[in-house]
Amino acid sequence: MQTLKEQTDAKIAAGRKANPEFMKGVDAIIEEAKAFEKGSHAIKVGEKAPGFELPNAKGENVSVEALLEKGPLVITFYRGSWCPYCNLQFKALQSRLGEIQARGATLIGISPEVPDGSLSESEISKMEFTVLSDQNAKVASQYGVAWEVPEFLQEHIRVDRKLDLEKINNGNGSILPIPATFIVDSNGIVKWTYVNVDYRTRSEPEEIIEALKNLSK
């Protein structure tokens, strides 16, 4: 079975072949973002994770405090069900979900998508973990991973992808989370993080599972 990196690398390679100019533009944006340390303000290992209460795909409010009563959390911020890299990531996580749950952990996916019919019917929402709606990326901001998307990428999403993020997110369409994952123990303390402003690169499920194993050491 391919690793998640192998899958995303293949998608990036296909994108470079199909639309080389766009991918060059993305590369330039990512390099600039890295130069300005976008994501450097994300909460760190050892810090208390901010609490929150967000609606799930059915519009029912879910609080992080209630989830922590069951055990540690794997909190993953993602751009939306429309993002092909997010779908690859969550398919990979779904395939290892049994191992994550065997460690007593709950997997949560958080995006700005509004909890309406489109989110309820999305491929990600039909997977076997909790999907929450963070409109205007307020919780992402608390975790230090909200990013104002450059106009170059906004135009691609709007024109080439024909997506109206203001409608999809029922709010600000220019703010998206940096894809990031936080492992929070049952006391609400951050124990592991993965933050990368390059939305095409994600943490491997294997890394998450190893980090969960270390919680009990």
pLDDT reported for residue 169: 83
- Residue 56, CA distances (Å) to 62, 114, 132, 196 in order: 7, 9, 4, 25
pLDDT score of 117? 55
What pLDDT score does 217 carry?
62
- pTM of this structure: 0.86
Q: Rounded to an integer, what distance in angstroms lies between the CA atom of residue 89 and that of residue 78?
A: 9
pLDDT tops 70 at residue 136: yes
Contact indicator for 83, 163 with CB cutoff of 8 Å: no
